[in-house]
Amino acid sequence: MTASRSAQWYRGTDRNAYIHRAWMRRGLPSDAFDGRPHIAIANTASDLTPCNMHLNEVAEHVKHGVWEAGGVPLNLPVVSLGETNVRPTAMLWRNMAAMAIEEMLRANPIDGVVLLGGCDKTIPALLMAASSVDLPAVVVPGGPMLTGTFRGAPLGCGTDVWKLSEEVRAGTLSEADFLRSESSMIRSKGHCNTMGTASTMGLLAEVLGMTLPGLAGTPAPDSRLLEGAHETGRLIVSMIADGRRPSDVMTRGSFLNAIVALAALGGSTNAVVHLLAIAGRLGVELTQDDFDRTGSGVPLLVDLQPAGRHLMEDLYRAGGLHAVLNEVRDLLDPAAITVTGRPLVETLGEATVHDRDVIRSRSQPLQQDAGIAVLYGNLAPDGAVIKPAAASPHLLRHRGPAVVFDSIEDLHARIDDLDVTPDTVLVLRGCGPKGYPGMPEVSNMPLPPKLLAQGVRDMVRICDGRMSGTAYGTVVLHVAPEAAAGGPLGLVRTGDTIILDVPARRLELDVPAEELAAREPSPEMTAAFARPSRGWQRLYVETVQQANTGADLDFLTGSSGGHVARESH
């Protein structure tokens, strides 16, 4: 029988085993190196990732469970990404975090890993890394914060910032009142409490099978999170004994389950790029079209911001993820297993809905056919996505003249003085993975004040970037190829007619093919693209793939396993 990974470092009487053991002793029990599984706790706690600040406490409870089950827990701080802090956009660093975490999991003497994440990019990066190393792994999602209130009404993180700032621009809210709401926005530890990217990816980690059943969505301050962390510590030790790895758990069936859940939850469009990237690490066949094929006919059942009214604390109280999944149980792959070895559908038990205001029934959904729609046409040959649940129904079929911005700076410089009508289509380019670089969340462009003053609250917007999971509007995003990669988005001119037809899945530029073929990208647009000369950003721009395959680096897709052939001394 092959020795465990940790035993390959620690077992034996030679000089190297001596060195590995001696430096690690520092209070570990004397039998720590006698074959007990060594468990890394990949911990994204950081004072600069406010949504993850509490994860050190969670790690302590994971440790209790690991010790109790006979393992040796080891805290492994890893690259963390605070969505609200990191410039130019946290997405630029997702792949860097995933690469660094992957390499540290492989390089260290561990047999399994517990992944602690929360803020938007942290769970995707952890899952990408764990998939490429393919050691037994389980996620503890850090959980959402409690609901804050302002003037007696709940505040939704992100979503209400967008709403309130639009009100200020429209002149219906004073700047002083806007600033007064700031200290009420973040009520407790935890990540954003809307159905944004963090909530979506925490819940989808469970649907993928990668958490202790029933844990995802537990609010960060709830004592049941720590209880679940303790149990997760026990679970990872048993997973090593069973040899259960991410590649056993996250199969195509698990990803299709995640797509069904994404639609029923009204989850973030960012889940598209993250799930594609994780699947790419595992070699699971998954395409952007799977989101439309499998998810677009699924009804939206969860009435949470940004598509609805409530917040994550309400979802947990109303029955949580399991109650939602039981509503769509017949659409789930019954063979897809979880980290426990049991099928996901078996873990759901009889979980029921306690509040139909928050979790609707299939017969009375918040919206029919709510999943991600994937659009194609001469403006997006490799596809673009839209979330109909967050869009205005009257704009889903639309024809209008384009106003084009060559960069986000161009948009900010001109948006307040634009000559536009409600039919205008705002086009923003230079915001894809290569162009910005890093594919920022800027696609939900602010509306021109002239239209806000008329009461207009939504317009068709098209961009090669992403949109915050907490945002809303008729926004076509992830246009591929992006303008900086030579996509036709770079050929649009102000005044061109754009045709959006979501029911027909079309996104067209109404310009004759010969004329389009003769056009050159504008020099202003080309000049606006960043061309980093060194470091991570250079590597990123040279090797990042397009949104329709998950925006991973081309050499990071796939797996290298966990084996390391050479010693360190």
Closest contact distance (angstroms) between CB of 192 and ligand FES is 3
Closest contact distance (angstroms) between CB of 485 and ligand FES is 28
Binders of ligand FES among 470-529, rule CB under 6 A? none
Nearer to ligand FES, 120 or 496 (CB): 120
Distance CA 290, CA 285 (A): 10
Q: Does 278 bind ligand FES (CB under 6 A)?
A: no
Binders of ligand FES among 305-364, rule CB under 6 A? none
Of 116, 21, 18, the residue nearest 76 (C-alpha): 116
What value does the CA radius of gyration of the chain take, rounded to a whole number of Å? 24
- My answer on whether omega of the bond before 88 falls inside 30° of 0, hence cis, is yes
Look at the block and give the residue holding tokens 């809307």: 194
Closest contact distance (angstroms) between CB of 470 and ligand FES is 7
- My answer on whether omega of the bond before 401 falls inside 30° of 0, hence cis, is no
Distance CA 529, CA 371 (A): 32
Instruction: Please choose, out of 66-74, 192-200, 332-340, 458-466, the segment that lies near ligand FES by the rule CB under 6 A.
Output: 192-200
> Which pair of tokens denotes residue 120?
């938007």
Composition of the chain by helix, strand, coil, percent to 5: 40, 15, 45
Per rule CB under 6 A, count of chain residues that contact ligand FES: 11
Instruction: Please choose, out of 1-9, 107-115, 191-199, 279-287, the segment that lies near ligand FES by the rule CB under 6 A.
Output: 191-199
Closest contact distance (angstroms) between CB of 198 and ligand FES is 3
Nearer to ligand FES, 86 or 328 (CB): 86
Nearer to ligand FES, 84 or 559 (CB): 84
Binders of ligand FES among 24-83, rule CB under 6 A? 51, 83
Instruction: Please choose, out of 35-43, 189-197, 203-211, 217-225, the segment that lies near ligand FES by the rule CB under 6 A.
Output: 189-197
Look at the block and give the residue holding tokens 């080309």: 526
Distance CA 325, CA 11 (A): 45
Amino acid letter for position 108: N
Binders of ligand FES among 112-131, rule CB under 6 A? 119-120
Nearer to ligand FES, 120 or 458 (CB): 120
Closest contact distance (angstroms) between CB of 466 and ligand FES is 14
516 class by beta-carbon count within 10 Å (0-12 exposed, 13-18 middle, 19+ buried): middle
Closest contact distance (angstroms) between CB of 246 and ligand FES is 23
Pick from 92, 104, 126, 198 the residue near ligand FES by CB under 6 A. 198
Closest contact distance (angstroms) between CB of 468 and ligand FES is 8
Pick from 136, 154, 156, 196 the residue near ligand FES by CB under 6 A. 196
Nearer to ligand FES, 143 or 253 (CB): 143
| C-beta separation of 257 from 333 below 8 A | yes
Nearer to ligand FES, 198 or 502 (CB): 198
- Where residue 418 falls (left for φ over 0; alpha for ψ -120 to 50; beta otherwise) is beta
Amino acid letter for position 362: R
Distance CA 436, CA 429 (A): 9
Q: Does 192 bind ligand FES (CB under 6 A)?
A: yes
| C-beta separation of 122 from 96 below 8 A | no
Residues for the chain: how many in total?
569
Of 408, 432, 91, the residue nearest 268 (C-alpha): 91
Where does 190-287 have alpha helices with state H? 197-207, 223-242, 246-249, 252-265, 270-282
Nearer to ligand FES, 57 or 103 (CB): 57
Nearer to ligand FES, 190 or 233 (CB): 190
Q: Does 191 bind ligand FES (CB under 6 A)?
A: yes
**What SS3 class is residue 314?**
helix
Nearer to ligand FES, 40 or 157 (CB): 157
Pick from 8, 56, 75, 84 the residue near ligand FES by CB under 6 A. 84
| C-beta separation of 410 from 463 below 8 A | no
Closest contact distance (angstroms) between CB of 119 and ligand FES is 3
Nearer to ligand FES, 222 or 231 (CB): 222
Closest contact distance (angstroms) between CB of 219 and ligand FES is 13
Closest contact distance (angstroms) between CB of 410 and ligand FES is 26
The 542-561 contact track toward ligand FES, x by CB under 6 A, reads --------------------
Of 550, 98, 90, the residue nearest 291 (C-alpha): 550
> Which pair of tokens denotes residue 335?
């063979």
Distance CA 490, CA 511 (A): 13
| C-beta separation of 317 from 311 below 8 A | no
Nearer to ligand FES, 83 or 160 (CB): 83
Nearer to ligand FES, 52 or 296 (CB): 52
Binders of ligand FES among 149-168, rule CB under 6 A? 157-158
- Residues 464, 290, 332, 559, CA torsion sign: negative
Of 413, 511, 513, the residue nearest 428 (C-alpha): 413
Instruction: Please choose, out of 190-198, 215-223, 402-410, 555-563, the segment that lies near ligand FES by the rule CB under 6 A.
Output: 190-198
Nearer to ligand FES, 119 or 256 (CB): 119
Which residues of this protein are in contact with ligand FES, per CB under 6 A? 51, 83-84, 119-120, 157-158, 191-192, 196, 198
